[in-house]
Amino acid sequence: MTQDGFRAEEIDTSRPHPARIYDYLLGGKDNYEVDQRAGDALAEAAPEVRIGLRANRAFLQRAVRYVVDSGVRQILDIGTGLPTSPNVHEIAQAAAPDVRVAYVDNDPIVKAHGDALLGRTGTTSIVLGDLRDPRAVVEHPDVRRVIDFDEPVALLLVAVVHFLTDAEKPEQIVAALRDALPAGSFLVLSHATGDFADRSEAQAVYRKATATLNLRSRVEIERFFDGFELIEPGLAQVPFWRPDSPPPERSGEIGFYGGVARKNG
């Protein structure tokens, strides 16, 4: 039994996991054959998927730099996925060495890799937790060890909310996390969409995974920012959110929206 209450035998490698599919499509090695088959099927269903995932990763990096440049020194990254360099703490601490980061993911394999990468430093933690239980995440002692919820926090929900079904009431989950944040905090969120192409075949791949892919429209995704003020340019396809280089090929087909917003009160 681990500190977080999971046993090694509870790690499910019989079905693809979103974090490991993501890792495979980004060229990582922390995945299994079942994840590779799912990733190949996803790339066949949506040929631009690798471009889209890289663009989403680049959005994450720009957004992290933005919130750090805005003065935030604490980051709560939920649904962090397998370590992909540069990691959030590396991006943030390159700009401000005193930034503290708490990573949260529901895959025990992600937790194991995070433990090996991070150890138990004073500025980072890795927690086995689930977005579906926001209170448990916020109250986890290893989150509280590095995050002070009396000071502004940047909450990262990057490519994770689309794994929540409507029945799981994702708007309420995001609202619960928002309510735990003080004024001056930020929400960084990206979410898959079918606004630019039919992605029913891609969704079918995830029906065999540990979480389904739930595409939402721009209007539906904007609701997750209720209680926040979106930073210009608002909710945009990820390559077009404050780009610092020319957009990649096929950018108009990339099925990810991303935005950064500030909580003012």
In this predicted structure, the answer to whether residue 8 has a pLDDT above a threshold of 60 is no
Give the confidence band of 9 by pLDDT, cuts at 50, 70, 90: very low
Cis before 233? omega within 30: yes
What token pair was written down for 95? 């700009």
If phi > 0 it is left, if psi is from -120 to 50 it is alpha, else beta; for residue 47 that is: alpha
- Give the domain extent around 72: 8-262
Lowest mean pLDDT among 4-13, 128-137, 176-185: 4-13
- In this prediction, residues 108-132 reach a mean pLDDT of 82
Kindly state whether residue 120 falls inside one of the protein's structural domains: yes
Kindly state whether residue 3 falls inside one of the protein's structural domains: no
When divided into structural domains, the chain yields a total of 1
Question: What radius of gyration do the chain's Cα atoms show?
Answer: 17
Give the confidence band of 7 by pLDDT, cuts at 50, 70, 90: very low
**206-249 pLDDT, tens per residue?**
998 988 999 999 999 999 999 999 999 999 999 999 999 998 88
What CATH number did the domain enclosing 223 receive?
3.40.50.150
Kindly state whether residue 2 falls inside one of the protein's structural domains: no
Average pLDDT, the chain: 91
pLDDT at res. 116: 76
Kindly state whether residue 118 falls inside one of the protein's structural domains: yes
pTM over 0.85: yes
**45-97 pLDDT, tens per residue?**
988 899 999 999 999 999 999 999 999 999 999 999 887 778 999 999 999 99
pLDDT at res. 162: 97
pLDDT at res. 51: 93
In this predicted structure, the answer to whether residue 113 has a pLDDT above a threshold of 80 is no
Strands 154-158 and 186-192: parallel
Kindly state whether residue 90 falls inside one of the protein's structural domains: yes
Kindly state whether residue 1 falls inside one of the protein's structural domains: no
Kindly state whether residue 51 falls inside one of the protein's structural domains: yes
Q: Which residue has the higher pLDDT, 13 or 179?
A: 179
Give the confidence band of 122 by pLDDT, cuts at 50, 70, 90: confident
